[in-house]
Chain A
Amino acid sequence: MDTAFRKINIDKYDEDILLPAELYDPDPRTPAQVLADARQKSAAVRACLTRGDIAGALAVALDQYPYGEGVDEAKALTLSTVLLILNSTKTADIGPLVRTLTQDQQDTLMKYLYKGMALQATGDQADVTGSVMLGWHGGLTDVAGVGCIGRVMTDRRTV
């Protein structure tokens, strides 16, 4: 029996198909701008970290994060910037740090934690440590609750 018809992408013939990109508001910045911002923030975060200002570094890294399509380089850069902060924090400091973040920043941090854990599972990212991720995840869930985890799952603006 001919089964080639099963491979036909029928969505191509659907006039009102709903594309994933239509489900969120696109970033008003151009991809080049996003990348420039990410580079600039990465440098700012490093400056904060040398001063020992972890709260400031987190706030800088988690605001205006890159999402959507066509900004993979900026996404990778921001992820490693966030991981740098997460890895250079003492476990005891996590709770108080998380409390200083706004609710939007908490939601964004949770996105990066899940992204980090996903990459750790595949072994693609060398600078992810499971225990660090789980420590942050626990600390963040204590403050922001399961609602924050749900928002990571529903949000199409993936990091």
Chain B
Amino acid sequence: MSAPEVFPLSVGPITGHAFNADRSQVCVSLNSSDAQVMAYDGTGWKTTETLSEHDKLITSIDWAPNSNRIVTCSQDRNAYVWTQVPDPQTGELTWKPTLVLLRINRAATFVRWSPNEDKFAVASGARAIAICSFDEENNWWVSRLLKKPIRSTVLSIDWHPNNVLLAAGSADQKARVFSAFIKDVDKRPGPTVWGDKLPFNTICGEWSSPNGGWVHSVAFSPSGDAMAFVSHDSSISIIYPGGPGVITVKTTILPYVTLTWTSESSIVTAGHDCQPHVFQGSENGWAMVGSLDSSKGTHRHTGQRNQIEAFNRFRQADSRGSQGEEDTELLPTVHQNTITSVRAFDGSPDRVTRVSTSGVDGRLVLWDANAVGQPVGLAGKMAGLRM
């Protein structure tokens, strides 16, 4: 059980992170219109190159491991594919952008390469998902839009291992599975549990969040036979289309905003509770088993601050007319604010050994995915968890 490795990259939020294939470099956006490529120098991550082309906030980044290409998307409604080419003068490798015509009229919110890296999908606020593929003839990226029946901003997407199906979670409180089949790129896929015939924009399924929360994050299981999503009503739902349907676990804590599968029977989730939680289960049911954050101490979250402390604070404010000393105490968790992204770092898709998280506190943290301990500040609350 190794301790988490913590890398403070910035004072402000990290809006997205993506590692390269051998995990020696990471591409992050520090809440700005630039993305930084950073390399590990033995002590910390140092910026080696800045990718500036967007003119509004970058919302998401993905790095294709095999073809070594970066894709970024932004609130300026554009996406760029970055490739490493030698500089004509010095011969040094530099990242060069290619603009992708997304044909959306609202901000792009989320981007992911498909498993074969011949397509990528961009979610957006225009009630659409742009599926982009490379047109060899014209030497540019073209996009086709998945529109129906999306009713609001798409917040996250995830590709099925077969390179055709796409899961999407959206602010209209639904998680959906679409076909993103492109004739010129894809071979006809074999039948899956999600359906047999899969022309472009086929809707293979639509599920509501249990209590009407935005669906923040979606992910297919390593085999692609199950899909999980987390929503703003503090719940996680796992869908088995070939089996029992939907399994929902409602939690007693603040909502999760991101998740990743670490094996066919375990999921790591993270979000407003500032620590990565581990869920385990199967078609027979799922439950939270603990946290990767083994920090000790009492939980001092606003929502769980004890009542006497709050009472004393107000009494002090009342009797002395003072606000008391500034509350500068740190959270007992490793992350000091909401975790916005959790991704697999090490291991194969069906046996992830380490995960990486980044969040609003500007920290990048690497966790041992198997070091499951008691959740911070939640001791005793676990009894209240039900399936």
- Report A's interface with B, CB cutoff 8 A: 16, 18, 22-25, 103, 107, 138, 143-151, 154-157
Contacts and interface: CB of A to CB of B under 8 A. Distances in A.
B384 A145 contact: yes
Most buried by B among A138, A148, A151: A151
B304 A146 contact: yes
Contact of B234 (A23, A24, A138, A151): A151
Main secondary structure of the interface of B (DSSP, over half): loop
Interface stretch (B9-17, B74-82, B89-97, B206-214): B206-214
A150 B212 contact: no
Contact of B233 (A18, A22, A24, A155): A155
A22 B232 CA distance: 18
Nearest to A102: B386
B249 to A, nearest CB: 10
A154 B172 CA distance: 11
Interface string B26-37: 000000000000
Contacts of B250: 103, 107, 147, 151
Given A144-B384, A145-B384, A155-B211, A22 B253 contact: no
14 contacts: A16-B151, A18-B151, A24-B212, A25-B208, A107-B250, A143-B384, A144-B252, A144-B384, A147-B233, A149-B303, A151-B233, A154-B209, A154-B212, A154-B214
B233 A145 contact: no
Interface string B299-313: 000011001000000
Nearest to A154: B213
Contact of A146 (B151, B232, B253): B253
Given A18-B152, A22-B151, A103-B386, A145 B211 contact: no
Given A22-B151, A24-B212, A146-B303, 7 more contacts: A25-B208, A107-B211, A144-B252, A145-B303, A149-B303, A156-B173, A157-B212
Contacts of A107: 211, 250
A107 B233 CA distance: 11
Instruction: Determine the interface band of chain B, counting residues with CB < 8 A from chain A.
Output: 20 to 34
A146 B254 contact: yes
Contacts of B252: 144-148
Interface of B: 127, 151-152, 172-173, 208-209, 211-214, 231-235, 250-255, 303-304, 307, 381, 384, 386
Nearest to A111: B211
Given A143-B384, A155-B211, A150 B152 contact: no
Contacts of A16: 127, 151
A150 B255 contact: yes
A23 B172 contact: yes
A137 to B, nearest CB: 12
A131 B233 CA distance: 27
Given A154-B211, A154-B212, A147 B253 contact: yes
